[in-house]
Amino acid sequence: MITPQALQTFADWVASIRGDEDSEAQTYVNRLLQAWGWADAVEAGTTFERKIPKGSLAGGMGNADALIEGTRATVLIEMKSRGKALGPNFPQLQRYWI
């Protein structure tokens, strides 16, 4: 069950980490999903480092950080390290989604 306390605990944890995509991405997604009421990423139907055909700039295979495929919705997560501008990376997310 989602509670304000669970969301605040998650927000406090996020404030305490380095925000490194390579070393903290999967833990971040797991804790986010737990804050939203799932037991873990497996229960939520998450695949980490999902291969995306034609997802790279050169048209080859890309890797989405996480893909959650549920019965009612699909969520694509592409993360960047703290402090990295997201705008220039938006086309990457668009390639993955399409």
What pLDDT, on a 0 to 100 scale, did the predictor assign at position 57?
Answer: 87
Does the pTM exceed 0.95? no
Write down the pLDDT at residue 98.
Answer: 85
Are 35 and 41 a contacting pair, CB within 8 Å? no
Whether residue 13 has pLDDT greater than 80? yes
Closest CA relative to residue 96, chosen from 70, 63, 74, 71:
63
User: How high is the pLDDT of residue 72?
Assistant: 82
* pLDDT, tens digit (0-9, with 9 covering 90-100), for 47-96: 999 999 988 888 899 999 999 998 788 999 999 999 999 998 899 999 99
Reduced to 3 states, what is the DSSP secondary structure of residue 33? helix
